[in-house]
């Protein structure tokens, strides 16, 4: 009799355990107990498109940003957009329209938001345009010109600039000497400069002059002054460097210093 009672109690306890487990599963559907990812508040602000990460960090240090009603001054303060209420100057973050632009960058402008020496930057081309905050997608150095992308969509920009999956960049380069077929092959094969391997996906001759020529160079990655450094390794100087395409997007007849919005199809094609 005692054994029967003990067995009945065991079965009842097991049944109760199963029922409590089932009740918990009903209260928490699959996946609902996952913890929302948390990132630094400055990064969260930049992802919304309201400001660059650097500018957002300045706002945080100035005490202009609150999280759940409390002012925070650490740009790396962890925040979840799903769980936390973030305000800037006491105002909720409104959805910002995503902007995708291309600029025909003139020679002589710096690809930066501000310059401590007061030199002209690419943002001078957007004066009076009433655009939201936008950032360059990639770079062109001061002496280079041509197609430069801008956006306030950090995730899209990251896909464009990713070396392994981003689109190729095509340049037309005027050099200070004649280049024969053998030298073209050597340039394409690459060189080691300051311990770094530099190369190009494709190099071809566009046209010859009396003392110089134009090359077309295609890169599938973007390193600092990559084309200039690569050509310098072969004692070739650059007279002009113009980016004429990013993927299938062509600079075309866009006037120097002018910009235009990208179409939905162009935006999608660049990041596909």
What CA–CA distance (Å, rounded) separates 124 from 249? Answer: 23
What CA–CA distance (Å, rounded) separates 136 from 246? Answer: 14
Catalytic residue selected from 84, 141, 168, 220: 141
The backbone torsions φ and ψ at residue 207, rounded to the nearest 5 degrees and listed phi first, read -160, 160
CA torsion, ordered 158, 160, 162, 167, to nearest 10 deg: 170
Helices 154-161 and 41-48 pack at an angle, to 10 degrees, of: 90
Determine the 3-state secondary structure of 170 from DSSP.
strand
Cβ proximity of 94 and 145 under 8 Å? no
Active-site annotation holds for 141: yes
CA-based nearest residue to 34, from 79, 83, 85, 77: 83
Q: Tell the residue number behind the tokens 């041509």, with chain if given.
A: 146
CA-based nearest residue to 43, from 80, 71, 85: 80
**CB within 8 Å of 201: residues ≥ 6 apart:** 168, 218, 219, 220
Catalytic residues: 141
């Amino acid at each position: 009799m005692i054994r029967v009672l003990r067995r009945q109690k065991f079965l009842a306890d097991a049944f109760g355990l199963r029922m409590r487990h089932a009740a918990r599963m009903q209260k928490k559907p699959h996946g609902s107990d996952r913890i929302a990812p948390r990132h630094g508040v400055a990064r969260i602000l930049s992802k919304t498109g309201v400001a660059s990460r650097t500018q957002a960090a300045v706002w945080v240090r100035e005490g202009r940003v609150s999280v759940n009603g409390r002012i925070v001054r650490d740009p790396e303060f962890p925040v979840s957009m799903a769980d936390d209420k973030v305000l800037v100057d006491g105002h909720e973050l409104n959805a910002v329209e995503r902007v995708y632009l291309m600029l025909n960058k003139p020679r002589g402008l710096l690809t930066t938001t501000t310059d401590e020496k007061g030199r002209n930057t690419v943002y001078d081309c957007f004066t009076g345009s009433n655009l939201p905050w936008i950032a360059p997608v990639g770079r062109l150095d001061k002496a280079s010109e041509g197609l430069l992308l801008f956006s306030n969509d950090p995730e899209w920009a990251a896909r464009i600039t990713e070396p392994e999956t981003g689109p190729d960049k095509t340049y037309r380069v005027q050099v200070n000497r004649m280049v024969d077929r053998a030298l073209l092959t050597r340039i394409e094969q690459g060189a080691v400069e300051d311990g770094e391997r530099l190369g190009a996906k494709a190099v071809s001759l566009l046209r010859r002059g009396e003392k110089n020529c134009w090359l077309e160079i295609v890169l599938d990655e973007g390193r600092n002054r990559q084309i200039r450094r690569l050509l310098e390794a072969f004692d070739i100087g650059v007279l002009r460097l113009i980016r004429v395409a990013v993927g299938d997007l062509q600079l075309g007849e866009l006037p120097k210093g002018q910009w235009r919005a990208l179409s939905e199809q162009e935006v999608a094609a660049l990041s596909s």
